[in-house]
Amino acid sequence: MKRSIELTKDPIDEGLMVSSRTLSHQMGAVVYFSGIVREGEQGRKIDAIVYEAFEEMAVHQFKLIFDEVEQKWPIESIRLIHRIGHVPVNESSLWVEVTSPHRQEAFQACEWLIVEMKKRVPIWKHPQFVGD
């Protein structure tokens, strides 16, 4: 399984990610998810989220999750980008793409990966409340 993991302070260029995709001829499904910073957190208005990561461990934990994905589904590739630092409202903080022969496993793997990330990958949000 091909895999890439990137933690970056830069905005995610979704167009570049899509245009740089490579697929074998056996692949029939590409699912990608983009998580966007909303303007509300804890019932208050925010203008951004600052993401903090224990970077070395985060990358390691993503690799372990990818290993498990590979055991569960016939996935050809996973590409994942997570922003760290300041991410304004309306920008993507997470972009993850899964490719597989059929849509069902691509959807399931993408969802499962994100659920597991939220349990074990050491990344934290610091909402930037408007007016603070």
Residues near another protein (CB under 8 A) are 35, 51-54, 56-58, 60-61, 82, 93-94, 114, 117-126
Structure tokens at 28: 């029939």
Structure tokens at 115: 């659920």
Q: Are 15 and 92 in contact (CB under 8 A)?
A: no
Nearer to another protein, 27 or 62 (CB): 62
Nearer to another protein, 2 or 126 (CB): 126
Quote the least distance from Cβ 80 to another protein, whole Å. Answer: 10
Handedness of CA 116, 7, 34, 14 (dihedral sign): negative
Nearer to another protein, 78 or 121 (CB): 121
Quote the least distance from Cβ 20 to another protein, whole Å. Answer: 23
Residues whose CB falls within 8 Å of the CB of residue 2, separated by 6 or more in sequence, listed in order:
76, 77, 78
Quote the least distance from Cβ 59 to another protein, whole Å. Answer: 9
Nearer to another protein, 1 or 114 (CB): 114
How many residues are recorded in the chain?
A: 132
Distance of CA 35 to the CA centre of its chain: 7
Quote the least distance from Cβ 119 to another protein, whole Å. Answer: 7
Nearer to another protein, 74 or 127 (CB): 127
Establish how many alpha carbons lie within 13 A of residue 1's alpha carbon, considering only the half-sphere containing its beta carbon.
Answer: 25
Quote the least distance from Cβ 52 to another protein, whole Å. Answer: 6
